[in-house]
Structures are given as structure tokens and as C-alpha cells.
């Protein structure tokens, strides 16, 4: 299901604040606005999820936006970012590189690093996906972050076409289809990266493919209280013993991964000023943590403060 926000539905003196709140709810990494943000500021967002993948379509006026190093440190999610323009032009600067982007072009962005955008009036689609979905290592990602992939042919055209169609599909994709579609987007990206890196896509063992599917299943089902290693094993048609063996060399067990991602989602929502009206317990329940006392203990153990103090630290009152 998608959510839409249009600044024209808001009083002129509240548009910028509400826009920034909506962008945070959509999961966009922080940016400092340098665009036309006077009283006539007109912009539109549509956002939602397809399995583990976040999709945001934004129509914004021209100008400049930046993310400083300090702002980048606030974005703690373990995500990669992909951008495709559907109208307008943009220049992106990141990691010492400059990319000029036209309609249909694809660019990979590091959401945890400083960036500068200069744009005309544009509409763009942002896709954010867990790092674990990409088989290429982080070093390979950094080699291509900030570089444009032409959308006029080859795998670039396939990615561009698929990504540009995602916003319209947000309300029509079945839950059982969502994880597969999100994986398909990342698989095409993997092929395009291999071309940019002048080598074949990294070979994947059956176990590596299965682990990716499990990660995608976890992120797409965090809202379900019954999500567990047993339910994941059943969904993947493997034994529970096999599932645990798959994760013997991973940094976290399956259960720990579920808990970690749920707490991250709760922290996202607690920082979101658009959800200040919701209690910490209702936010936790939204992400499958239905026992308030257990959530309080887990959150304080992970973040060092209570959920209410965490909100106050991040200016949400």
C-alpha cells in the first residue's frame, strides 16, 4: 500500500516542515533543502514498500540539496540507494565523482555519505534496499557509487524501465509477489554493476541465493508477530536445521536478525515526527513486537536509552 503527500494540501507556512516529515516517513536519507522553499513550495511524494525494498517517487522544484557528513551519520540503516529520473535533469556529486543524469538514467547512491544534488524541476524514483540483498561486496559498491548508468540500452534500460514502473505498482502487488519483485530489481542491478566493474557478476552458490531470499523474507514480514526461524524455514521449504546451518558463518543468527531489524524499524518510527502521536508500544506492535515490557527491555539494551528518551534525544515530542 502506498502513501501520498502533496504540499498543495497544506497551508503555505507549514509546507516545508510537513514535506520534511513526509520524506522521513518515506525512508529517504536526510538532505538539507536548498531548493525553492518559500511559501509557494510545491512538491509531491508517493512512497511504500515492495517486500524488503522501499520505493519513493518525488516531484520537486529545481535547486540544490546537500547532505553533510554530520547528517550522513544520522542515517543508520544498512541500505543501498538507487535513483532513476523520470523527468528533468540532475548533477550529483559524491565520493569525489560527478554524474550528470538525464531521464531514464540510473545512479547508485551511498546514503551514509555526504552528497550534493543540483537539479531542474524533476520527478525521480528512489529505491532503497538492504545491503544483504546485493552479492557484490561493499568495496565494489563504493567503486560505482555516484556514477551514472545510462538508461538508453542494455541492463541500464531494463533497470530503468522496471524502477520507473514500481510506484504505479505499489498498490497492486500481492504480498507473495513482493519479495520476488524486489529481488528481481536487485538482480538486474547486479548485472549492470558487473558491466561497470568490467567483470562477470559474482557467482552465487545455492546457499548464498537462499540466504538472500531469507533476508528478503525477514524484511518483508517484520510486521508479523509469528515471524520466526520456524516460519521462515517453512516458507522457504527447508528444514529448521538447514536454515540454522545456512547462517553459521553470518554475523547474526536468524532470530537475532529478526530482532535487530524490528528494532531498527521501531527506531525509524520513533525518530519520525509524523508519528509523534503514536505510542512506543503501538509502534513496536506495528513491527511484530507485541509485548510492551519485552520491547522496552530489548530497545534499551540495543540503544542504551528508553524509547521515550530516544524520542526526546531526536527532538520528537
3-class secondary structure per residue, the chain: CCEEEEHHHCCHHHHHHHHHHHHHHCCCCCCEEEECCCCCCCCEEEEEEECCEEEEEEEECCEEEEECHHHHHCCCCCEEEEEEEEECCEEEEECCEEEEECCCCEEEECCCCCEEEEECCEEEEEEEEEHHHCCCCHHHHHHHCCCEECCCCHHHHHHHHHHHHHHHHCCCCCHHHHHHHHHHHHHHHHHHHHHHCCCCCCCCCHHHHHHHHHHHHHHHCCCCCCCCHHHHHHHCCCCHHHHHHHCCCCCCCHHHHHHHHHHHHHHHHHHCHHHCCCCHHHHHHHCCCCCHHHHHHHHHHHHCCCHHHHHHHCCCC
Q: Are residues 131 and 256 in the same domain?
A: no
**147 has pLDDT over 90:** no
> Is 54:185 a contact under the CB 8 Å cutoff?
no
* Residues facing residue 33 across a β-bridge: 65
The pLDDT of residue 87 = 94
> Is 261:218 a contact under the CB 8 Å cutoff?
yes
Task: Give pLDDT tens digits for 249-266.
Answer: 888 899 999 999 999 889
All residues at 6 or more sequence positions from 252 whose CB lies less than 8 Å from its CB, including other chains: 260
The pLDDT of residue 255 = 94
Task: Give pLDDT tens digits for 76-96.
Answer: 667 889 999 999 999 999 888
From 202, 222, 243, give the residue that closes a domain: 202
Q: Are residues 156 and 186 in the same domain?
A: yes
Task: Give pLDDT tens digits for 172-193.
Answer: 777 667 767 777 777 777 777 7
Q: Are residues 193 and 250 in the same domain?
A: no
Angle, helices 175-196/154-169, rounded to nearest 10 degrees: 150
Task: Give pLDDT tens digits for 29-49.
Answer: 878 766 555 557 889 999 988
Q: Are residues 195 and 212 in the same domain?
A: no
**205 has pLDDT over 70:** no
Q: Would you state the cell numbers that stand for residue 8, as one nine-digit string?
A: 498543495
Q: How far is CA 171 from CA 127, 135, 174, 221, in A?
A: 16, 29, 9, 17
Q: Are residues 59 and 188 in the same domain?
A: yes
From 202, 228, 248, give the residue that closes a domain: 202
> Is 75:111 a contact under the CB 8 Å cutoff?
yes
The pLDDT of residue 290 = 94
Say which CATH number the domain at 107 has: 2.60.120.10
- In the chain, the number of structural domains is 2
Q: Are residues 52 and 73 in the same domain?
A: yes
Portion of the chain with pLDDT greater than 70, in percent: 91
The pLDDT of residue 295 = 95
Q: Are residues 183 and 248 in the same domain?
A: no
**Domain with 93 in it:** 1-202
The pLDDT of residue 76 = 61
The pLDDT of residue 119 = 92
Say which CATH number the domain at 305 has: 1.10.10.60
> Is 153:175 a contact under the CB 8 Å cutoff?
no
From 179, 202, 225, give the residue that closes a domain: 202
Q: Are residues 255 and 187 in the same domain?
A: no
> Is 219:51 a contact under the CB 8 Å cutoff?
yes
Range with the poorest average pLDDT among 92-101, 137-146, 169-178, 233-242: 169-178
Residue 106 phi, psi (nearest 5): -115, 140
**107 has pLDDT over 60:** yes
Task: Give pLDDT tens digits for 120-142.
Answer: 999 999 998 888 777 767 777 78
Higher pLDDT, 39 or 67: 67
Portion of the chain with pLDDT greater than 90, in percent: 33
> Average pLDDT over the chain, rounded to whole?
84
Q: Are residues 198 and 280 in the same domain?
A: no
The pLDDT of residue 105 = 92
Q: Order of strands across the sheet with 53-60?
A: 3-6, 44-50, 53-60, 122-130, 79-87, 106-109, 148-149
Q: Are residues 294 and 232 in the same domain?
A: yes
State the sign of the Cα–Cα–Cα–Cα dihedral 181, 187, 190, 195.
Answer: negative
All residues at 6 or more sequence positions from 223 whose CB lies less than 8 Å from its CB, including other chains: 286, 287, 288
The pLDDT of residue 198 = 59
Q: Are residues 49 and 163 in the same domain?
A: yes
Q: Are residues 80 and 191 in the same domain?
A: yes
The pLDDT of residue 34 = 64
- Mean pLDDT to the nearest integer, 300-309: 92
Amino acid at each position: 500500500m502506498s502513501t501520498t503527500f502533496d504540499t498543495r494540501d497544506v497551508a503555505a507556512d507549514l509546507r516545508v516542515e510537513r514535506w520534511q516529515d513526509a520524506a522521513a516517513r518515506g525512508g529517504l536519507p536526510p538532505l538539507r533543502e536548498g531548493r525553492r522553499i518559500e511559501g509557494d513550495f510545491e512538491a509531491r511524494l508517493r512512497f511504500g514498500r515492495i517486500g524488503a525494498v522501499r520505493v519513493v517517487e518525488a516531484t520537486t522544484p529545481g535547486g540544490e540539496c546537500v547532505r553533510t557528513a554530520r547528517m550522513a551519520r544520522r542515517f543508520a540503516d544498512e541500505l543501498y540507494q538507487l535513483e532513476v529520473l523520470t523527468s528533468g535533469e540532475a548533477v550529483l556529486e559524491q565520493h569525489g565523482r560527478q554524474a550528470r543524469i538525464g531521464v531514464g538514467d540510473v545512479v547508485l547512491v551511498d546514503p551514509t555519505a555526504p552528497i550534493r544534488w543540483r537539479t531542474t524541476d524533476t520527478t525521480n524514483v528512489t529505491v532503497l534496499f538492504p545491503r544483504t540483498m546485493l552479492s557484490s561486496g561493499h568495496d565494489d559498491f563504493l567503486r560505482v557509487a555516484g556514477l551514472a548508468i545510462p538508461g538508453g540500452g542494455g541492463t541500464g534500460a531494463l533497470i530503468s524501465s522496471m524502477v520507473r514502473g514500481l510506484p504505479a505498482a505499489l498498490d497492486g502487488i500481492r504480498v507473495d509477489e513482493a519479495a520476488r519483485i524486489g529481488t528481481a530489481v536487485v538482480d538486474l542491478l547486479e548485472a549492470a554493476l558487473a558491466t561497470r566493474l568490467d567483470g562477470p557478476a559474482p557467482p552465487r552458490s545455492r546457499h548464498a541465493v537462499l540466504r538472500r531470499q531469507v533476508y528478503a523474507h525477514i524484511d518483508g514480514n517484520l510486521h508479523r508477530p509469528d515471524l520466526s526461524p520456524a516460519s521462515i524455514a517453512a516458507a522457504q521449504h527447508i528444514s529448521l536445521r538447514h536454515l540454522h546451518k545456512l547462517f553459521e558463518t553470518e554475523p547474526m543468527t536468524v532470530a537475532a536478525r529478526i530482532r535487530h531489524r524490528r528494532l531498527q524499524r521501531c527506531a525509524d518510527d520513533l525518530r519520525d515526527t509524523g508519528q509523534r502521536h503514536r505510542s512506543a508500544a503501538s509502534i513496536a506492535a506495528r513491527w511484530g513486537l507485541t509485548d510492551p515490557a519485552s520491547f522496552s527491555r530489548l530497545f534499551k539494551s540495543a540503544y542504551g536509552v528508553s524509547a521515550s528518551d530516544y524520542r526526546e534525544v531526536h527532538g520528537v515530542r
